[in-house]
Amino acid sequence: IERMRKRGGRPGVGVSAFAPSYDPLDGNHAHYTLDLSHTATAGTDALDMARRMGSGLVHLHLCDGTGASTDEHLVPGRGSQPTVEVCQMLAGSDFAGHVILEVTTSDARNKAEREALLAESLQFARTHLLR
């Protein structure tokens, strides 16, 4: 579930991502994506949300955030999200979904720094998702 705001201002039908509720779990969907950068921005409890999604959680965007007003997509473990706990919960369950590293490298000054950020992210995933 992506929370997208309406763009433009042109006439036409508008769609509210917050209907019927601000809580995406109120919609009783069959499958969920948990984006840890979005939970940071929204100030929601990612671990509680993952637990509530249960077997419906089929896709994890593994990254981090500090609670800033914009999506940060930090290397996992560099923000305030319970990234270790979410990964360990999935590793200890029958989770068979997809984990996507969604990390920005835009602050890297060169190719070596970019590769180091990605390598750190991959190592985090391997360490904490190991079954």
Share of the chain above pLDDT 90, in %: 75
Domains and CATH numbers, the chain: 30-129 (3.20.20.150)
Which of 2-16, 62-76, 90-104, 115-129 shows the lowest per-residue confidence on average (mean pLDDT)?
A: 2-16
DSSP letters of 31-86?
-EEEEHHHHHHHT--HHHHHHHHGGGEEEEEE-B--S-SS---BPTTSSSS-HHHH
Find the angle CA(76)-CA(81)-CA(120) to the nearest 5 degrees: 10
pLDDT digits (tens, 9 = 90+) for 98-107: 999 999 999 9
pLDDT at residue 51, rounded to an integer: 96
Q: What is the pLDDT of residues 3-24, one digit of tens each?
A: 444 444 455 555 555 555 667 7
Predicted TM-score of the model (pTM): 0.82
